[in-house]
Amino acid sequence: MRNSTRGRRPGTSRTREQIAAAAARLFAELGYDRASLRSIAAEAGVDPALVTHYFGSKQRLFVEVTELPVDPAAVVAQVVEGPRDQAGRRLAQFVLDVLESPEGRARVTGLVRAAASEPEAAALLRKLIETRLVGPIAAGLGADRPELRATLVGTQLVGLVMARYVVGVRPLASADPGEVAAALAPVLQHYLTEPLS
């Protein structure tokens, strides 16, 4: 690439951030398949070559922009510590906090939408549920069958994203976040610590 040996230009990391933000918007709006590198570049107002320069491939760009805006390990610690019978409430609150922030919502809805049709995205979503976020929470709370519990929590969280943010089922889509978190809390608590059958 021309001038690359002269080092990074001022504004370089801002360009990178612009591309990532544009990609997050388009993956969330169009899904992985239809969000082309060309359309992402156009949305960011940059040359398509810059997208490849900074991110290498569409798949790597996708992995980066669907990463949670918070550290999963910190969330796990926060949910597992504190009164055990309130773990569902803490997890519900965290989930709504992420989904009600524009950045978190774009990242998570982009991932869930793409997981419906893209094996790569489905693998990322499985990993988030099984080994990075919900699995360690279920294991940390010490109930029986933590893997099954983690995936049952996963069904509720993925379904919330689909119904409230992707499909827009009413009146859930316009319900107050606090109300949604309150309705979800006992369900997550049930899956995390209560007898399953």
Q: Which residues bind a second copy (CB under 8 A)?
A: 30-31, 33-34, 112-113, 115-117, 122, 125-126, 129-130, 147-148, 151-152, 154-160, 162-164, 166-173, 175, 179, 182-183, 186-187, 190-191, 196-197
Q: Is the Cβ–Cβ distance between 108 and 68 less than 8 Å?
A: yes
Task: Label residue 117 exposed, middle or buried (CB < 10 Å: 0-12, 13-18, 19+).
Answer: exposed
Instruction: State how far Cα 28 lies from the chain centre.
Output: 11
Shortest approach of a second copy to residue 51 CB, angstroms?
Answer: 22
Nearest Cα neighbor of 17 from 65, 53, 72 is 65
Shortest approach of a second copy to residue 121 CB, angstroms?
Answer: 9
Return the number of other C-beta atoms located less than 10 Å from residue 113's C-beta: 23
Shortest approach of a second copy to residue 123 CB, angstroms?
Answer: 9
Q: Which amino acid is at 142?
A: G
Cβ nearer to a second copy, comparing 46 with 181: 181
Return the number of other C-beta atoms located less than 10 Å from residue 35's C-beta: 24
Cβ nearer to a second copy, comparing 51 with 192: 192
Cβ nearer to a second copy, comparing 29 with 67: 29
What are the backbone dihedrals phi and psi of residue 190, each rounded to the nearest 5 degrees, phi first? -55, -50
User: Rounded to whole angstroms, how far apart are CA atoms 15 and 30?
Assistant: 22
Shortest approach of a second copy to residue 18 CB, angstroms?
Answer: 25
Cβ nearer to a second copy, comparing 10 with 171: 171
Shortest approach of a second copy to residue 59 CB, angstroms?
Answer: 17
Shortest approach of a second copy to residue 83 CB, angstroms?
Answer: 19
What's the Rg (C-alpha) of the chain? 19
Cβ nearer to a second copy, comparing 41 with 152: 152
Cβ nearer to a second copy, comparing 32 with 55: 32
